Amino acid sequence: MSAIFLLILLIVFLALFVAWFFIFFFMPIVLPYFFWGAIYVPTAKNRIDTIVSFAEISPGSKVADLGSGDGRLLSAFAKKGAVAFGYEINPFLVSKSRKNISKEGLENKAFVLNKSFWQQDLSSFDVIVVYGMVHVMGRLEKKLQKELKNGAKVVSHAFVFPHWDFVKKENNIYLYIK
């Protein structure tokens, strides 16, 4: 009887370990894609440089990164003098972003909000950055055209808006100006 009990206990323990592994290592990357938006893909350093260059920010510019991932772009913009806000729905990436921002001493210039950008008013931003997926770009285009002030810049990584003509393209980065 005790051998059967130990075998059942071992099976339960293994099942719990597999569930824990799946929840903490697989779900933070894949689950947001299936339910809310794009899967997390880190932006390469050369693309970050292009995005920041396209934005042509001045000190005090207000930047929003929609789906800010690990906060790399927020840090890059904050180092150039912008006040950068990231909207990220994945709580694990929010935590990682905040740690990365803190390591660089940018807590007063870069902020990560664990919120969906869809419910946010983006009218106060000078620059919007997005690494969206094709299935969100049409809806996002309508939101930005409605909310952004004239002269606001939108920098898109890899994906284009269906009806909005970009003014500049380089390194698979697109610049739009409202």
pLDDT single digits (tens) 32-61: 444 455 678 889 999 999 999 999 999 999
Rounded Cα distance between 78 and 84, Å, is: 6
Q: For the segment 134-148, what is each residue's pLDDT rounded down to a tens digit? A: 888 999 999 999 999
**45-177 topology per CATH:** Rossmann fold (3.40.50)
Non-local (6+) Cβ contacts of 72 within 8 A are: 42, 43, 48, 100
**Domain range summary for the chain, segments of one domain joined by +:** 1-35, 45-177
Q: State mean pLDDT over 18-40.
A: 57
Question: Model's pTM, two decimal places?
Answer: 0.80
Answer yes or no: are the C-beta atoms of 171 and 47 closer than 8 Å. yes
Answer yes or no: are the C-beta atoms of 61 and 127 closer than 8 Å. yes
Give the residue from 22, 18, 38, 17 showing the smallest Cα distance to 90: 38
